[in-house]
Chains A and B, each alone.
Chain A
Amino acid sequence: MISKTINLTLKVWRQNRGEKKGRLETYSAKNISVDMSFLEMLDVVNEELTKNKKETIAFDHDCREGICGMCGAVVNGRPHGHEKETTLCQLHMRHFSDGDIIVIEPWRARAFPLIKDLVVDRSALDNIIQAGGFISVNAGGAPDANALPISKEIAEAAFNAAACIGCGACVAACPNASAMLFVSAKVSQFALLPQGRPEAARRARTMVRMMDQCGFGNCSNETECEAECPKGISISNIARLNREFLKAEFS
């Protein structure tokens, strides 16, 4: 029993560092086993390019398990491709058919300048966390972990918000290139937990300000972010962020 293979045509965004304009270039991906992941398929194309002494396609990746948030590209117009709640590294080729044409482009957003090919600079997301995405506690001073009971429901809701992997697909999906889903996930995680309450209002304000400063757009409730988020982060977090933000502005 040999697993099924397919042949594909790729149109991949190529753009060198410093180049004003990029272009879609066409490659063929031959004999791709349907058990491969999307990134392994790109590996195959890159091996072929290397053998022909050509420069490989640059793309970010690391864990290849859907948890580090490093990978991501827009595949046929959809961030991380068409499978629901799946990162690009966990998208398997069995979801494609022989003869498919696949267009692969980088995240596009003003706040994510392009570095090369499919690689963009997402350090703006780190800047947002620096603005307030933490609880101000130093190592060494904490009380016993069980001193503060937290209901299972609250702990789980906080966990669900904390599951964001910081990939930036929500930004790529949003017509305004807003990072609201990302910001709201972090604000919610801490706003839900009693440890995070003391700084909740300030955190919402400083993080949203930083988001604006970094060049992300505003949220106009398009909900594309939720649809494309690989971790199923809910837009109800945005409502919670808005409440915290209003509190901060009026206090």
Chain B
Amino acid sequence: MNPDVKMHTKLDAKVPAGSLAEKWDRHRFNLKLVNPANKKKFEIIVVGTGLAGASAAATFAELGYHVKNFCIQDSPRRAHSIAAQGGINAAKNYSNDGDSVWRLFYDTIKGGDFRAREANVYRLAQLSCNIIDHCVAQGIPFARDYGGFLDNRSFGGAQVSRTFYAKGQTGQQLLLGAYSSLMRQVSTGMVKLFPRREMMDLVVVDGKARGIVVRNLITGELETYTAHAVVLATGGYGNVFNLSTNAMASNVTAAFRAYKKGAYFANPCYTQIHPTCIPVHGTFQSKLTLMSESLRNDGRVWVPKKPRDKRRPGDIPESERDYYLENKYPSFGNLVPRDVASRNAKEQCDLEKGVGETGLAVYLDFADAIKRDGENAIAGKYGNLFQMYEKITGDNPYKTPMMIYPAVHYTMGGLWVDYNLMSTIPGLFVLGEANFSDHGANRLGASALMQGLADGYFVIPYTIGGYLAQTSFSEINVPDSKEFKQGIQNVQQRIDKLLSVNGRRTVTEFHRELGLILWEYCGMSRNEEGLLKAREMVSNLRHEFWKDVYVPGTGKDLNQSLEKAGRVADFLEFGELMILDALARKESCGCHFNTAFQTEENEARRDDQNFCHVACWEYNGDDQVPNFHKESLTFENVELSQRSYK
């Protein structure tokens, strides 16, 4: 632990008693129910319309609650979930290959490097099957086999085929399903929709989350909304790195505002870096595009043996190529897990063996696979991906090797929640990528969609009832409420401040610089020296931002520069929290790889004695070191083991 961090209480996750398999059933029985006639007296705010938010909002309305649903985009259908490609896991065992709830549970816990909560993960595996049933009933056109039954594939190194998919557009189809249920509830009047709104603050009254302040992105007006509970489903914070595979509007603002109001932030340093993305082409690159991981099933990864070799790939003879994954990991080869593949790619580039214009890429070569199976077979498997690659890069991967590079993809950290998905602020619930819950230190492929929908369709509809039934609420009259007045005032002040700095540098320049610092020092491998340096660099950058940023336009209008400025300002503060968390975790686990803690095989070396916990941070005032709390993780059902891929 760092000397300047204060250690505090232990957190209670409210995990119900009983055997793993019975916990959720029992808990549902023990939760107080809201009388059906009373449900309509309750109002729930849902921020976010991705898989988690849309599914929750629709289901609340189906149960009879009144819902106010907010999103940044012009339509709820455009939330970032729309972009997920690969698929969604479920323990259906339709392939009869030995899958089960237990196996999905075990794989997820192990994949997370034993840093997730057993009870939550088991519940997730249990609910996975209900998700698929519901999605099919909604009319989601999943891939099917010739018998007309649902097709499954194996994904992300799983040894069973449990991934359901809809071509390379699974996220789109799942989200449109949730969106259609949501639209049905809008038409019944149970859901009121507020698109093009950005949540700027959470309002806490008598210690409970009772409302939000949003900015109407078209008029610039600040608006307030009240409710009996607030549900955040605002997605992940990968854009803190500037370049990531996330959509442009993905942000940490909503979660960070809740953090500043008392919600603890858990494991902010856990970020997943995906090994197969299209490399950066230049300074003005705005985002990165993921290429499905399945490509590594047939593509061979290599770099030239000689540093700074600028020959074209075809001119480099076999003997001068280093198939570094195959050489280093003979049994897994190109199929090593995401984090191992990513770290190795960066390592090669740091040795100046990277290829392409920027030197920040490695080859993924299909020549041998095409020779072996023929171009048609390869086109059958990857045709659409090859096409997408060609569209973006102008290169034809049938003729010349693809170039790939790792990119920030998913954030396992998020607001801390208990078994009921409630944060440390009563009445504030957090779902989907925005919470920290189920993936530990590393998420397995096709598990985020599963988690978002489990949270929204099948967990929160029950657990929120338990809260509402047991809580007494005071009447709120917004014009008189000092909390709401204060909320508006704070947000307004901040906007005014952003617009009045009137400096010389653009928001994009600051964002780019922050991204580079974090990528270098708090990315796929870290060490204490680098983290300490980064902490200072980020802090300096933040001070510079507030002195020298320039934001054009006014606050009373659609002003995309101002929107971005607000998000980047939060990223600048949040970046420091990530670094602090990475410093405090003096071990390696999953995606948090501290070079001081590795096995002889260069694998993450955990320290289960001292770090088998969730690290939670409590806001303690601006420019103050936050307080540290921990939730100890106990494993009663699985044995902690060490990964090895040699």
Contacts and interface: CB of A to CB of B under 8 A. Distances in A.
Interface stretch (B178-186, B314-322, B433-441, B490-498): B178-186
Contacts of A145: 92, 132-133, 135-136, 150
B65 interface: no
A126 B552 CA distance: 32
A142 B77 contact: no
Interface stretch (A73-81, A157-165, A213-221): A157-165
A152 interface: yes
Interface stretch (A20-28, A64-72, A169-177): A64-72
B249 interface: yes
Interface string B248-276: 11000000000000000000000000000
B274 to A, nearest CB: 14
Highest count of chain B CB atoms <10 Å: which of A49, A69, A129, A152:
A129
Contacts of A97: none
B29 interface: no
Highest count of chain A CB atoms <10 Å: which of B141, B148, B193:
B141
B630 interface: no
A237 to B, nearest CB: 14
Contacts of A47: 284, 506, 508
A39 B183 contact: no
Highest count of chain B CB atoms <10 Å: which of A126, A141, A190:
A126
Nearest to A57: B560
Contact of B144 (A62, A68, A151, A190): A151
Interface stretch (B169-177, B416-424, B579-587, B635-643): B169-177
A50 B457 contact: no
B394 A151 contact: no
B85 to A, nearest CB: 9
Nearest to B246: A63
Interface string B191-221: 0010100000000000000000000001100
A236 interface: no
Nearest to A126: B75
Highest count of chain B CB atoms <10 Å: which of A46, A70, A144:
A70
Contact of B83 (A67, A125, A126, A144): A67
Contact of A43 (B92, B186, B286): B286
A33 interface: yes
A35 interface: yes
A60 B196 CA distance: 11
A144 B195 CA distance: 34
A70 B139 CA distance: 23
A17 interface: yes
Interface residues of A, number: 81
A15 B149 CA distance: 52
A135 interface: yes
Nearest to B76: A126
Contacts of B461: 139
Contacts of B138: 134-135, 137, 195
B389 to A, nearest CB: 12
B350 interface: no
B136 A139 contact: no
A234 interface: no
Highest count of chain B CB atoms <10 Å: which of A47, A122, A130:
A130
A195 B139 contact: yes
A239 interface: no
A101 interface: no
Contacts of A131: 187
Contacts of A181: none
Interface string A11-49: 000001100000000000000011111011001101101
Contacts of B173: 159, 162
Contacts of A62: 73, 78, 80, 247-249
11 contacts: A2-B357, A61-B248, A62-B80, A63-B78, A63-B80, A69-B75, A137-B138, A139-B59, A156-B141, A158-B141, A195-B139
A65 B83 contact: yes
Given A64-B248, A152-B145, A134 B181 contact: yes
A36 B284 contact: yes
B558 interface: yes
A146 B92 CA distance: 10
A70 B179 CA distance: 15
A143 B133 contact: yes
A144 B94 CA distance: 11
B43 to A, nearest CB: 20
Contact of A122 (B62, B75, B187): B75
Contacts of B83: 63, 65, 67-68
Contacts of A126: 75-77, 183, 186, 193, 195
B281 A3 contact: yes
B391 A123 contact: no
B134 interface: yes
Contacts of B11: none
B616 to A, nearest CB: 31
Nearest to B285: A40
B451 interface: no
B82 A137 contact: no
A46 B563 CA distance: 14
Contacts of B508: 43, 47
A58 interface: yes
Contact of B284 (A33, A50, A69, A152): A33
B286 A69 contact: no
Contacts of A141: 137
Contact of A55 (B94, B195, B552): B552
B284 A44 contact: yes
Given A54-B552, A56-B561, A92-B391, A123 B145 contact: no
A151 B148 contact: yes
A178 interface: no
A41 B245 CA distance: 19
Given A36-B282, A119-B558, A142-B134, 12 more contacts: A3-B357, A17-B558, A62-B80, A67-B169, A68-B78, A123-B195, A126-B195, A131-B187, A138-B62, A149-B147, A155-B144, A195-B139
Highest count of chain B CB atoms <10 Å: which of A60, A63, A156, A195:
A63
